[in-house]
Amino acid sequence: MQPSKLLPSLFHSLDTDRWLNILHVGAALPETVDFFSRFKCRIHFVDLFSELVVRELQQVSSFKELHRQFEQLVTLPDDTRLDICLFWDFLCYLDDPALRAFNEVIRPYLYYRTRAYGFGVHHLAIRLENKQYGIVEEDSLSVRLRQTKQLVTHPHSQVEMHEMFSCFDFERGLLLPDGKLELLLKARDDIGDS
C-alpha cells in the first residue's frame, strides 16, 4: 500500500448525492471496484496499458489516425460527463502526438467540475517503475508490479504536459520520495458548462 496526500481532496469535493461518472485508465482491480461500491457511480474501465494497444498506437504515424484509434478505445456514451479521471501514470507512456490525440478524444466528456488524479515526473531522468495502481481507501493506494513487460516511457515536463494535455490545469502537485509527482488536475474552466 502507498499513502496518498492528494487523493482525499479528489473525493471531498464530490457531490455524493448524485450519480458520478468515473474514467479509470487501467484494469479493474478488485479493491478499486470495492472502494467505489460505496458511491452511486458508473466506472468506465478502459485498459489503455495493454501492450497490444500501446504498440498499435506507436505504429500510427498521423495525428488523425491516433485520434481515430483513441476514439475506438475510449467508447463512452455521448452524453457522459466525467466527474473523476484516474490516469495513474498512463500519460507518461504517451509520446507527444499521442498525448495530444488523447487530450482531444476525452475533451468532449469533461466539464468544469471534472477532476483528475495521476502521476508525472519531477524531471525527465526519473525512471518509471512498471506498476499497477488501485484505490483501497480515500488516502491509500494499492501498488503492485505489472505482470506485463514495461512499455516505452515518454515522460513530459509540467510545461509540456500543460501545453499538450490542455483540457486540464494543474491544481496541486506533490513530490514523492521516488522522484515522481503525485498530481491533482482540474478541467479548465472554459470546458463545458453543465
User: Residue 127 carries which DSSP code?
Assistant: P
Helix (H, G, I), strand (E, B) or coil at 136: strand
Q: Which tens digits make up the pLDDT trace of 70-87? A: 998 898 998 999 999 999
The confidence band for 21, taking pLDDT boundaries of 50, 70 and 90, is very high
Q: If you average pLDDT over every residue of the chain, what do you get?
A: 88
Q: What is the pLDDT of residue 51?
A: 60
22 with 80: CB under 8 angstroms? no
Indicate the residue type of 89: D
Percent of all residues in the chain with a pLDDT value above 70, rounded to a whole number: 94
Mean pLDDT for 18-43 is 93
| CATH match for 2-187 among 3.40.640.10, 3.30.1280.10, 2.40.100.10, 3.40.50.150 | 3.40.50.150
Q: Which of the two residues, 53 and 121, has the higher pLDDT score?
A: 121
Q: Which of the two residues, 122 and 82, has the higher pLDDT score?
A: 82
Q: How far apart are CA 135 and CA 89, in angstroms?
A: 14
Q: What is the pLDDT of residue 143?
A: 94
> For 95, what's the count of Cα atoms within 13 Å in the CB-facing half-sphere?
14
Closest by CA to 189, choosing from 85, 117, 115, is: 115
C-alpha cell at 10: 479528489
Residue 144 has pLDDT above 80, yes or no: yes
CA-to-CA dists, residue 176 to 5, 119, 121, 132, 170, angstroms: 10, 10, 9, 17, 16
Domain ranges of the chain: 2-187
Cβ burial 153-183 (10 Å sphere, 16+ → b, else e) = bbbbeeeebeebbebbeebebeeeeeebbbb
